[in-house]
């Protein structure tokens, strides 16, 4: 049976779905921006906003990049690539003036599709720093099947985010520009999911942070399965 999901199932920002655009009416003809990322293996997707395509054949670990639209309410449509007869998911999205949004598609541990809409609050970092946030699309469970794995995210030896769970999206934090080491650990543990050899799973632990740029680090796949857990880096280009 084909799955169909509505965007409002997983929204972490207030007022984005089906909100009034009255507050934007005094600033007409301004732009808003939307991006789509897929963390679903083995399937590619076509994505439309109303009748405008923002990406075709978007595969596992791929993003459309930001697309610009006039600030108003739209309907997002997600289809299997090349087949627009059956809607996989979507929903209404109110795009506000000069705001940036990302839509993430993933599957939970029960293999059910999930959508997450995140507002990307972009601003220039302090000189000599970049900005990083983490989006957790890895719904990993211990062998008991009843306890979800929570994660802590480190840059170099400093813990930046803790107790991240599936569909969590952190705020941005500033980190020094340069080559940094990423570590993702089991929450409250010294066991590293990314940088220890037993947990590397073909991921690079290094991240090059450019001066005053913003990055989303997207964790996806199963953290307990070799070659499944992955990190993607999305550079936010305004």
Sign of CA dihedral 46, 219, 213, 210: negative
Quick one: tokens of 82?
């090349």
State the first-to-last Cα distance of the chain, in angstroms, to the nearest integer: 39
Strand partners, 214: 131, 236
- Specify the pTM: 0.85
Predicted confidence band at 197 (pLDDT cuts at 50, 70, 90)? Answer: very low
pLDDT higher than threshold 50 for residue 211: yes
Whether 134 has a pLDDT exceeding 80, the answer reads yes
Q: Express each pLDDT in 34-70 by its tens digit.
A: 999 999 999 999 999 999 999 999 999 999 999 999 9
pLDDT of residue 212: 96
The predicted-structure confidence for 78-101, as pLDDT tens digits, reads as follows 999 999 998 999 999 999 999 999
Give me the pLDDT at residue 20, please. 39
Identical fold for domains 5-119 and 129-236, yes or no, is yes
Measure the CA–CA gap between 179 and 176, rounded to whole angstroms.
Answer: 9
Determine the Cα–Cα distance for residues 156 and 166; give it in Å rounded to an integer: 23
C-alpha span between 63 and 74 (Å, rounded): 20
pLDDT of residue 201: 43
Three-state SS string across 106-167, please?
A: EECCCCCEEEEEEECCCCCCCCCEEEEEEEEECCCECCCCCCECCEEEEECCEEEEEEECCC
pLDDT at 7 over 70: no
The CA–CA distances, whole Å, from 177 to 128, 181, 212, 235 equal: 6, 12, 8, 14
Residue given tokens 């997983």 in the structure block = 10
| Domain positions in the chain | 5-119, 129-236
Going by the DSSP 8-state scheme, the letter that residue 220 receives in this structure is E
Structure tokens at 226: 């070799």
Mean pLDDT score across all residues of the chain: 86
One of 1.20.120, 3.40.50, 3.30.70, 2.60.40 is the CATH number of 5-119, namely: 2.60.40
Per residue in 226-235, pLDDT tens?
A: 778 888 999 9
What's the pLDDT score for residue 238? 74
Q: Measured on CA atoms in the order 50, 135, 58, 180, is the torsion positive or negative? A: positive
The architecture in CATH of the region 129-236 reads: Sandwich (2.60)
184 — pLDDT class (breaks 50, 70, 90): confident
**CA quadruple 26, 36, 128, 173: dihedral, nearest 10:** 80
């Amino acid at each position: 049976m084909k799955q169909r999901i509505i965007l409002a199932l997983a929204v972490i920002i207030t007022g984005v779905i089906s909100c009034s655009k009255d507050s934007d009416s005094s600033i007409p003809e301004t732009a808003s921006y939307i991006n789509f990322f897929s963390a679903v293996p083995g399937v590619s997707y076509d994505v439309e906003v109303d009748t405008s395509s923002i990406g075709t054949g978007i595969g596992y670990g791929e993003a459309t990049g930001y697309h610009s639209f006039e600030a108003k309410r739209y309907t997002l449509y997600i289809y299997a690539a090349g087949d627009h007869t059956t809607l996989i998911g979507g929903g209404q999205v109110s795009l506000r003036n000069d705001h940036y949004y990302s839509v993430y598609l993933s599957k939970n541990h029960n293999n059910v599709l999930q959508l997450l809409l995140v507002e990307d609050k972009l601003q220039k970092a302090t000189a000599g720093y970049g900005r990083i946030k983490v989006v957790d699309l890895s719904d990993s469970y211990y062998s008991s099947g009843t306890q979800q794995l929570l994660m802590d995210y480190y840059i170099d030896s400093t813990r930046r985010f803790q107790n991240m769970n599936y569909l969590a999206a952190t705020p941005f934090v500033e980190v020094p520009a340069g080559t940094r080491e990423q570590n993702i650990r089991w929450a409250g543990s010294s066991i590293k999911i990314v940088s220890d050899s037993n947990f590397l799973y073909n991921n690079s632990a290094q991240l090059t942070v450019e001066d005053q740029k913003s990055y989303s680090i997207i964790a996806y796949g199963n953290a307990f399965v070799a070659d499944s857990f992955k990190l993607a880096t999305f550079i936010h280009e305004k």
